[in-house]
Amino acid sequence: AFPTTSGSTMRRTAAMAAFSSEYMEAESSGAAVLCAVTGCDHRACHEGPFWVVFVYLDQDEGEGVCVASAAVLLSDSSKRSNGKWCEPCSRLDLVDDAFIEARPPVLIQDALHFMLRHYEDYRRVGILKYDLNSNCLSLIDAPLEGPVIDDAAVLMAMEDDSLGLAHVERLTLNLWSRQIGSHRVASWTQRAIVDLGNLLPIQNPKEDLELLGTVEGSDTVFVTTDMGIYEINLNSLRWKKLWKTDKFCALIPYMSFYNR
């Protein structure tokens, strides 16, 4: 609920309601809740100021493109905004069949990254980046060449605080990370190639494997095989079985609970 005791508050409430409606009615959308405390390691934070980031896509029929937009709500306890919406970012034009994949975004150095897919060619993968500091959207090319089957690729927050992307193709898992070079230009580097057929118990080697999620900042992924769901650390290649079933669409691990 939002207070309506003054004209400025009423105008802000109306603007928030209008944006909420625009976001909820968008053809494709994603959101994230972030701690707004500077220097927080986010391992035990609670009840502090927070950001709510909304990213959404809509069709611009006149231009024949898909338009990406974003806005941020800062909580009342945040010193940066006193509970206001940030100004919406400038629009970013995408190809008209793009949509945001229904997976949690990845936070890397004050920027959120969302996986993009395409209705007409679902096997194409892209990355939509929203920078919290500059309030700008940009598009990052994925390091994948050729088609990508459903649930075979996932974004990661790597241990070295770089953006990572894991991809399985048949029984092979490939891992890339996006590094900043000496000329301040970012590029993808392949970090690992893992033969899952020799690592995990797999009954049917012809069945496609899936990636369900990651553990933020630990280079750990969750893989589904016909024998169940497995957690794999890509540095040590140690793994453990989590469930016998493979009937999961996504897996989001938690680090801790706060009991008040």
* C-alpha distances in Å from residue 28, one per residue of 71, 105, 257, 259: 15, 14, 31, 34
pLDDT in tens, 187-208: 899 999 999 989 998 888 888 8
Domain span including residue 194: 146-249
Q: Is residue 259 included in any domain, yes or no?
A: no
pLDDT at 14 over 70: no
pLDDT in tens, 139-168: 998 888 666 777 789 999 998 889 999 999
Q: Is residue 35 included in any domain, yes or no?
A: no
pLDDT at 67 over 70: yes
Q: Is residue 159 included in any domain, yes or no?
A: yes
- pLDDT in the model for residue 207: 82
Q: Is residue 65 included in any domain, yes or no?
A: no
CA atoms within 13 A on the CB side of 30: 21
Q: Is residue 239 included in any domain, yes or no?
A: yes
Residue 14 CA to residue 55 CA, distance in Å, equals 19
pLDDT at 3 over 50: no
Q: Is residue 230 included in any domain, yes or no?
A: yes
pLDDT in tens, 232-253: 999 899 999 988 865 666 677 7
Residue 225 CA to residue 178 CA, distance in Å, equals 27
Total number of domains in the chain: 1
Q: What is the value of pTM for the model shown?
A: 0.82
Q: Is residue 66 included in any domain, yes or no?
A: no
Cβ–Cβ < 8 Å for 148, 165: no
pLDDT over 90 for what percent of the chain? 26
The phi and psi torsions of 206 (rounded to 5 degrees) equal: -90, -10
Residue 164 CA to residue 182 CA, distance in Å, equals 19
Q: Is residue 218 included in any domain, yes or no?
A: yes
